[in-house]
Amino acid sequence: MNDVTRYEEQLARVATELTQLATREAATTHSLSEATATKAELLTQAADIKIAEARLTTITRTLLPNAQRLAMLITQATQLAQQRQTRQTNEAQLKTQLAELTAKEVELQTSLATVASVSSSREQLLVFATQADELQRTDERLQQTEKKVAQQAENLMRVTRKLDTAKANLQDVIAMREAKAHCAGNS
C-alpha cells in the first residue's frame, strides 16, 4: 500500500468520525429541546401552585396574625422545590452531556493522533485541537454548574427545614385556637 492510499483511508476515517460527531451533536440538541419543553411544563405547574398559594394565604390571614410570614415561607418553599426539581433535571442532563463530551474528547484525541501522523493534514489537526479545547472549556463549565447546583440543593434543604418548622408551629397555634374556641363555646 502506498502513502496516498493510506492517506485516503485516514481521511475517510476522519470524515466518518466527523459524521458521527455531527449525529451526536444533533442528539444533544434534541435533548436540549426536550429539556426546554419540560421547563415550560414546570412553569405551567408553578402557575397552578401560585394560585393554590394565594388561596392558602387568604385562609391563613383569617387564622393567624403572622399569616403573611407563613405565606412568604410557603412561597419560598415552593420556589425552592421548583429549583430543586430543575436542578435535578439539569444535573442529570449535565452528567449525560459530560459523559458524551468526555467520550467525544477521547475520540478527538485519537483522531488527532492519527491526523498528526499525516504531515499534509495540519489544518485538520488544528480543527480537532480547537474542538478539544472547546470540550475542555465545556467540561469546566459543567463542573462549575454542578457545584452551583449542589449549593442550591443545600440551600433548598435548609429552607425546607425552616418551612417544616413553621408549618408545625402553625398547626400548634391552630390547635390551641380551636381548643380555646371550643372551651369558649362550651362556657
CA–chain centroid gap for 68, Å, is 31
List CB contacts of 131: < 8 A, sequence separation 6 or more: 108
Rg (CA), the chain: 28
pLDDT in tens, 55-83: 877 776 676 556 567 668 778 888 888 88
Nearest Cα to 46, choosing from 67, 71, 77, 90?
Answer: 77
DSSP summary character for residue 117 = T
Report the alpha-carbon distance of residue 40 to residue 89 in Å, rounded: 13
pLDDT in tens, 78-103: 888 888 898 888 888 878 887 887 88
Domain ranges of the chain: 3-186
